[in-house]
């Protein structure tokens, strides 16, 4: 990413938890430390969530490596910083289940973004299904049929 000196100065201070986008832009991390901190935070997530998250983070940072527009850079870094701030730190990450999306955020999405979100939802459901390929209810019902 091509950061200009003014953007680097904005990225210097880091607060405990930014409250909104304006505050987050003043608390940006430079791209490489942000990337590393996200991958470190993923270490404590369950294996399935970690592998999916690591691949996604790597792909997104690679896609945005050559972005020159300062607004896109600040938006990208601030959203990833907000994501990092929402991740639990340390071993309590093992029990992290994510969070619900704000309905107003979904209303602001384009049709393409909603479609992408739906695809992510379907892929994540496949990750958490039992390995036998059967729904969880069918696995429990067959063993207790004898009285």
Would the pTM count as exceeding 0.85?
Answer: no
Calpha distance 21→140 (Å, rounded): 47
| Euclidean distance between CA atoms 22 and 37, whole angstroms | 21
Tell me the C-alpha distance between 56 and 50, whole Å: 10
Extents of the domains making up the chain: 1-98, 100-131
Tens-of-pLDDT digits for all 147 residues of the chain?
555 555 555 555 444 455 555 555 457 889 999 999 999 999 988 888 888 889 999 999 999 999 999 999 999 999 899 889 888 877 766 676 777 888 888 898 899 999 998 988 888 777 666 555 544 444 444 444 443
| Other beta carbons less than 10 A from residue 34's beta carbon | 22
Residues 1, 64 contacting (CB under 8 angstroms): yes
């Amino acid at each position: 990413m091509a950061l200009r000196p003014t953007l680097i100065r904005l990225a210097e201070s880091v607060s405990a938890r930014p409250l909104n986008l304006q505050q987050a832009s003043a608390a940006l991390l430079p791209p490489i430390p942000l990337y590393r901190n996200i991958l470190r935070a993923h270490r404590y997530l369950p294996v399935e969530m970690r592998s999916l998250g690591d691949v996604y983070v790597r792909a997104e940072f690679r896609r945005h490596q050559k972005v020159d527009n300062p607004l896109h850079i600040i938006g990208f870094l601030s959203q990833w910083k907000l994501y990092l701030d929402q991740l639990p730190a340390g071993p309590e990450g093992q029990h992290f289940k994510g969070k619900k999306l704000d309905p107003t955020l979904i209303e602001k999405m384009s049709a393409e973004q909603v479609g992408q979100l739906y695809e992510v939802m379907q892929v994540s459901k496949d990750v958490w299904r039992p390995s036998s390929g059967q729904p969880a209810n069918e696995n429990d019902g067959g063993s207790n049929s004898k009285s």
